[in-house]
Chains A and B, each alone.
Chain A
């Protein structure tokens, strides 16, 4: 079974600084999608960024970027110029076929 591991239960970052959230996954497949979701206190699941495994180029969405290392099965999220509104739970997720497999989540706190 596929597994997704987020080894950092909590992280803190100073406003305007950069923070990296870690994620590793396990799969025997070669074609799949990876995602980072943000869950603010409203509990809504918000897609932050996605990566297709066959693409070597790392995905970027404004201040959010990933470091995708396929051989190492690593998929970290970098948030640049952190803002107070970035404070949330972040989930890494792997998608293959029928479902999303989620990590346990990382709580990100942003200090002003």
Chain B
């Protein structure tokens, strides 16, 4: 089954404790991205990757890092989480840049206290 998986689905952590949210897709997609969803703001892109070792900032990259060492994986790293990073996070993938079909992961609910 074609899918995007994210782990963990729920995470409660404390300010400053480094964490990683994993994202994996099994569709051999080139393009992957991370979004955060906040009330009244919709989803906003954090980072994206056009292929292995190619990443770039989206609209709200501050406080986040990403890596793309393998085509299927695109982890989101919060080196020093802060309460304003409490949000719902989605990973998405698509076959190539500009392709209309985006596949979303199930979301990760992150709470930073």
Q: Which residues of A contact B (CB under 8 A)?
A: 4, 6, 33, 35, 42-45, 47, 50, 52, 91, 93, 95-105
Contact = CB atoms under 8 A, between A and B. Distances in A.
B65 interface: no
A95 B100 contact: yes
B58 interface: yes
Contacts of B58: 98-99
Given A33-B100, A44-B104, A99 B33 contact: yes
B102 interface: yes
B95 interface: no
A98 B50 CA distance: 8
Contacts of A47: 101-102
Interface in B75-113: 88, 90, 92, 97-98, 100-102, 104, 106-107, 109
Given A33-B100, A95-B100, A98-B97, A104 B44 contact: no
Interface residues of B, number: 26
B44 to A, nearest CB: 7
Nearest to A45: B104
Interchain residue pairs A-B with the least CB separation, the first 5: A102-B42, A45-B104, A102-B43, A99-B45, A33-B100
Nearest to B104: A45
Main DSSP-derived SS at the A contact region: strand
B43 A91 contact: yes
B91 to A, nearest CB: 11
A46 B97 CA distance: 20
Contact of B40 (A33, A98, A104): A104
A59 B31 CA distance: 25
Given A44-B104, A100-B102, A105 B97 contact: no
A106 to B, nearest CB: 10
B41 interface: yes
B48 interface: yes
Contacts of A98: 31, 33, 45, 48, 50, 56, 58, 97
